[in-house]
């Protein structure tokens, strides 16, 4: 899967891209990545994304005293399909790699759900790390979009903010075939995954009343983070197929 990027220019995440001709001062993680990891040189071109569909080609103007680049080309992409993943808290530190993988698979939003049987602990402390992982995943996947990690929400407020048109699924071992997620992956999709101890009966009832259809992701019982990733992978494969050939990178 990685071969398409061979010889491709380096790719960075810059929230503020500016218009063609603009000069950008690049600092922090992205400057470190360009100067120390891929070792760009003045005059070299690199690609950048603002994580919101904006893409740019930049020309490096100088490396010191600060990294400066000029915008050569600009492009704006739109999402064809998007996945919002509602997720109860996995056990321990299993959320870190889950965030990385969900971002890589192109999930639009991760909504941490404060469930009756599982709370997201130390969220604020971990959020900064997750934002970095989401940016690293964007670089890795050369994507125009970056995953957003929302503030944890209880189920009711999450249901209240749900758009009516979204396809809704809830992962359950006794659900119908998860391949149904694929058929609906042309528009907005929401998949809800319980915390490590599962959703309560009351929460499951509320999900069902709110149009969430139960789907089984595997024949085996899955951990929260595995279920989240499996749902995202089923969706990603379908969204990719539905959108036709993937763009070359």
Q: How far is the CB of 130 from its own copies (least distance, A)?
A: 16
- Dist CA 61 CA 20 (whole Å): 14
Tokens of 221: 């019982």
Which of 70, 142, 148, 186 forms a contact with its own copies (CB under 8 A)?
Answer: 142
Give backbone dihedrals phi and psi of 229, rounded to 5 degrees, phi first. -65, -40
With respect to its own copies, which residue has the nearer C-beta, 43 or 244? 244
CA distance 125 to 191: 25
Strand pairing class (148-149; 153-154): unpaired
- Residue whose token pair is 């569909």: 53
- DSSP SS3 for 112: strand
* 108 binds its own copies per the rule CB under 8 A: no
Binding to its own copies in span 153-212, by CB under 8 A: 171-174, 176-179, 181-182, 193-194, 196-199
Choosing from 63, 150, 166, 230, the residue that interacts with its own copies (CB under 8 A) is 230
State which residue, 124 or 174, has the beta carbon closest to its own copies.
Answer: 174
Binding mask 5-44 for its own copies (x = CB under 8 A): xx--------------------------------------
Our finding on whether 89 is near its own copies (CB under 8 A) is: no
219 binds its own copies (CB under 8 A): yes
Nearer to its own copies, 30 or 100 (CB): 100
Nearer to its own copies, 67 or 107 (CB): 107
Answer yes or no whether residue 126 interacts with its own copies by CB under 8 A: no
Q: Which residues pair with 154 in a beta bridge?
A: 114
Separation of alpha carbons 191 and 215, rounded Å: 10
Asked if 97 is part of the footprint of its own copies (rule: CB under 8 A), the reply reads yes
What region, left, alpha or beta, does residue 154 occupy, with left being phi > 0 and alpha being psi -120 to 50 degrees? beta
N residues, the chain: 249
CB of 225: closest distance to its own copies in angstroms? 8
To its own copies, the closest distance from the beta carbon of 170 in angstroms equals: 10
Nearest residue (CB) to its own copies, 66 versus 97: 97
Stretch that binds its own copies, among 22-30, 52-60, 153-161, 240-248 (CB under 8 A): 240-248
CB 48 within 8 A of CB 11: yes
Cβ atoms < 10 Å from Cβ of 163: 9
Helices (H), the chain: 28-32, 95-104, 123-141, 155-160, 179-183, 201-209, 224-242
- Residues in contact with its own copies by CB under 8 A are 1-6, 97, 101, 104-106, 140-143, 171-174, 176-179, 181-182, 193-194, 196-199, 216-224, 226-227, 229-231, 233-234, 236-243, 245-249
């Amino acid at each position: 899967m990685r071969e398409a990027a061979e010889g491709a220019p380096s790719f960075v995440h810059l929230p503020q891209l500016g218009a063609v001709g603009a000069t950008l001062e690049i600092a922090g993680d992205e400057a470190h990545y360009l100067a120390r990891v891929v070792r760009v040189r003045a005059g070299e071109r690199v690609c950048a994304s603002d994580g919101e569909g904006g893409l740019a080609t930049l020309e490096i103007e100088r490396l010191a005293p600060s990294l400066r680049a000029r915008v050569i080309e600009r492009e704006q992409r739109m999402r064809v399909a998007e996945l919002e993943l509602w997720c109860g808290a996995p056990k321990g530190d299993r959320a870190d790699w889950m965030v990385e993988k969900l971002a890589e698979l192109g999930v639009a939003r991760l909504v941490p759900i404060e469930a009756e049987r599982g709370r997201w602990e130390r969220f604020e402390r971990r959020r900064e790390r997750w934002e970095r992982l989401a940016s690293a995943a964007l670089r890795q996947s050369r994507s125009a979009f970056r995953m957003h990690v929302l503030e944890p929400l209880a189920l009711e407020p999450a249901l209240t903010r749900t758009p009516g048109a979204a396809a809704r699924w809830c992962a359950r071992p006794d659900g119908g075939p998860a391949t149904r997620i694929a058929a609906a992956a042309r528009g907005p999709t929401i998949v809800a995954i319980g915390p490590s101890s599962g959703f309560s009966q009351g929460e499951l009832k509320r999900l069902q009343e709110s149009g969430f259809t139960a789907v089984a992701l595997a024949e085996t019982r899955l951990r929260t983070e595995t279920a989240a990733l499996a749902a995202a992978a089923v969706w990603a494969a379908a969204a990719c197929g539905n959108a036709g050939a993937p763009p070359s990178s």
